[in-house]
Structure 1
Amino acid sequence: MNSRHDLTNLRYDRTSTLSTMASQHRPVTNVVVLGSTGHVGIPTVIALSNHPARFTVTAVTRDKSQASFPPNVRVVESDLSRRSLLSLFQDQDAVVSCLATSMVDQQKDIVDIAVECGIARLIPSEYGLDSTHPNAAKFVPITKTKIENLDYIRQFEHRLSWTTLVTGSFFDRQFGDPGWFGWNMAEHQATVFDGGDVEFETTNLSQIGAAIAAILSPEHLDDTANQVVFVNSFTTTQNKVVAALEKITGRKMTIEHETTAAVRECALVAHEEDPTDFGPVADLVTASVYGQGGLNLYSKSAGGLWNDRLGLEREDFIGSIEKALAVYTKPGA
């Protein structure tokens, strides 16, 4: 059972298959979070640890000394090698991958080890645009790897259940990185695309963590099995965000105008010239967040949001921006 080929071609008798299916749907108690110190990893660990009677959480990090989590969280340093993951996944019920997009090509190895260790539920690293949308690979080439990974996971549905989470852009975090999705709060400047009235869905990081905790809860474990789950914090427009920022800060924003079509065209050329440069990739994501390819209103084309089904709390638009500015735009953030 040391290679993907071996795992793919294993044969099971009826008794073994029934036993495996039963174990797939066992309650999730022990949860491993990979990439626990990343943008999604931190709120995920916190959300899970907020339910100590329900979850026992292991946060996996490259550098244990840099991790700061609640005392009820077990923190483990790992190089994410096969040997390390085999040890980490023993006696665990669920694996939540919050690894960065640049590491998403490791996901097939994670699947193999999860299957080998008898993990019941895997949440792969998605947390962005809907990679299952027909236009995803064409408009955001980086989603090709995610599509391939999900296809790979589906081969093991008789042994391992999965849930992917689609969230759109990270609403609160984008205000802390100058240039992300057109926002530059350090200069109080914004690039507004296609007039600024295009609706798009977006999600706060804390909402992503809350959604993951809900997915793994006994109430929702079965109905989220082998499902693409869509959540958001808001459906809004850039002009509404600009108005909110000006109201909160008491300052007019300096606005530059651009089109998503032009951004996409330039980014595609740059990406072809240097596929390793993340800048054009970020521009392609931005163009699709604001409408290119029809990926901006992901839940409307995929059967609707899961917010109410998962019991997620409704969030305050102005309050979310105020909190984001306080957290992510202070010195050192």
Structure 2
Amino acid sequence: MASQHRPIKNVVVLGSTGHVGIPTVIALSNHPAQFTVTAVTRDKSQASFPPSVRVVESDLSRSSLLSLLRNQDALVSCLATSLINQQKDIVDIAVECRIARLVPSEYGLDSTHPNAAKFVPVTKTKIENLEYIRQFEHRLSWTTLVTGSFFDRQFGDPGWFGWNMAENKATVFDGGDVEFETTNLSQIGAAIAAILSPEHLAETANQVVFVNSFTTTQNKVVAALEKVTGRKMVIEHETTAAFRERALEAHKEDLTIFGPVADLVTASVYGQGGLNLYSKSAGGLWNDRLGLGREDFLGSIEKALATFHKPS
């Protein structure tokens, strides 16, 4: 059996304490008979995972990663976008250590869409990374996971994707009836566990996989938020076109500032570039194929507010 097609048992998760890393480690650890999980973190003291998870502190240097990835079957990268430039080096080390399946750090808008680089420049590095990974398909297999925005996480920080729960305000774009796909963090973790499972390992090899929790609109989210909180939201209206233009100007002035990058992503989540309904333009969702359960819309909002939004 070629090394890249062997069953997955030992899984390493980089960026294990991040937004995607935590639910990924938890989802994998929920299948102890299938997976032995190593969670890699910059600060071991900050990690809190089930007892079955091996937690390792690493500076992500070559020597450290070589040690970590020996005798492992899969590598799931949940590293933040700010560390995306390290991914080619990580690919090289994964190949050297004979990793069978690599899940690169994507988990957002579809970087393979023809408009991705134009409308969300930060995806250029992701596009280059995937092209680089494809050179090694004779040595390892890969799966890229497209999820759109992180539905539950976006209610935590004021201003993310137009939501400001701290002030009970929302910025509604283009009238609020534009449909968009979005995914809870726990659904992302469940999708990764399914991708690496024996049932789906072969069909997800060298594939861009599309999952979501909901296809919804901002107006539907506003209505649900008002129902859950019992408060009428203060609505401000904006267009994604104008919002994007301001973000582009700010991005040109300083490419290192996170805010304009996030604003460009927001504009595309809500329709700019045709990236909002990513699965429809790429052959459909994998939810049913991966055995992912249906999620409750109101219940997700209630849980999101309880988990990520801490009223002052």
1:81 is aligned to 2:61: yes
Map of 2:150 onto structure 1: 170
Residue 285 of structure 2 corresponds to residue 305 of structure 1: yes
Cα distance in 1 for residues equivalent to 2:46 and 2:311: 19
Q: For residues 62-107 of structure 1, what are the alpha-carbon distances to aligned partners after superposition, in whole Å with 9 as ceiling and x for unaligned?
A: 0000000000000000000000000000000000000000101100
Residue in structure 1 matched with residue 128 of structure 2 by the alignment: 148
Offset of residue 123 of structure 1: 0.1
> Residues of 2 paired with 1:28 and 1:177: CA distance?
36
Which position in structure 1 is the counterpart of 2:105?
125
Q: 2:189 corresponds to which residue?
A: 209
The letter for the 1-side match of 2:123 is: T
- SS of residue paired to 2:293: coil
Q: Is the 8 A contact 2:150 2:185 kept in 1?
A: yes
1:279 aligns with one of 259, 266, 273? 259
Per the alignment, residue 47 of structure 1 pairs with 27
The SS at the match of 1:255 is strand
The separation in 1 between residues aligned to 2:151 and 2:96, in whole angstroms, is 36
Query: Greater Rg, structure 1 or structure 2?
Result: 1
Alignment of 1:262-273 (within 5 A): 262-273=242-253
Q: Distance in 1 between matches of 2:290 and 2:85?
A: 29
How far off is 1:330 after superposition?
2.3
Matches within 5 A, 1:227-238: 227-238=207-218
Structure 2 distance, partners of 1:31, 1:315, is 26
Aligned to 1:4: none
* Unaligned 5+ runs, structure 1: 1-18
**1:243 paired residue number:** 223
Query: Which secondary structure does the structure 1 equivalent of 2:215 belong to?
Result: strand
CA displacement, residues 269-315 of structure 1 (integer Å, 9 cap, x when unaligned) = 11111111111111100000000000000000000000000000000
- Matched residue, 1:197: 177
Q: Which residue of 2 aligns with 1:292?
A: 272
Are 2:10 and 1:33 aligned? no
CA distance in 1, matches of 2:162, 2:273: 18
Q: Any conservation in 1 of the 2:9–2:36 contact (CA below 8 Å)?
A: yes
3-state DSSP of counterpart to 1:307: coil
Q: Which of residues 202, 214, 225 is equivalent to 1:222?
A: 202
8 Å Cα contact 2:84-2:126 kept in structure 1:
yes
Which residue identity lines up with residue 156 of structure 1 in the other structure? F
Alpha-carbon contact 2:269-2:275 (below 8 Å) kept: yes
The equivalent of 2:83 in structure 1 is: 103
Give TM-score, length-normalised by structure 2: 0.99
In the alignment, structure 1 residue 134 sits paired with structure 2 residue 111: no
TM-score of the superposition, structure 1-length normalised? 0.93
Query: How far apart are residue 23 of structure 1 and its match?
Result: 1.2
Residue identity over aligned pairs, in percent, reads: 89
Aligned-pair distance for 1:331?
Answer: 5.3
Q: Which amino acid aligns with 1:166?
A: V
CA distance in structure 2 between the partners assigned to 1:63 and 1:277 by the alignment: 25
Q: Partners in 1 of 2:205 and 2:135 — Cα distance?
A: 14
Aligned-residue offset at 1:206? 0.1
The 5-angstrom pairing of residues 311-322 of structure 1 reads: 311-322=291-302
Please list, as runs of the form range in 1=range in 2, the aligned pairs for 1:1-16 lying within 5 A after superposition: none
Match of 1:185 among 155, 165, 179: 165
User: Distance in 2 between the 1:27 and 1:109 partners?
Assistant: 24
Give the distance between the partners of 2:237 and 2:95, measured in 1 at CA.
Answer: 49
Amino acid at match of 1:214: A
**Aligned positions, number:** 312
CA distance in 2, matches of 1:261, 1:223: 38
**Matches of 1:271 and 1:57, distance apart in 2:** 38
Q: What is the CA–CA distance in structure 2 between the aligned matches of 1:331 and 1:162, rounded to whole Å?
A: 41
AA at the equivalent of 1:241: V
Does the Cα contact within 8 Å between 2:166 and 2:311 map onto a contact in 1? no
Q: Structure 1 residue 323 and structure 2 residue 303: aligned?
A: yes
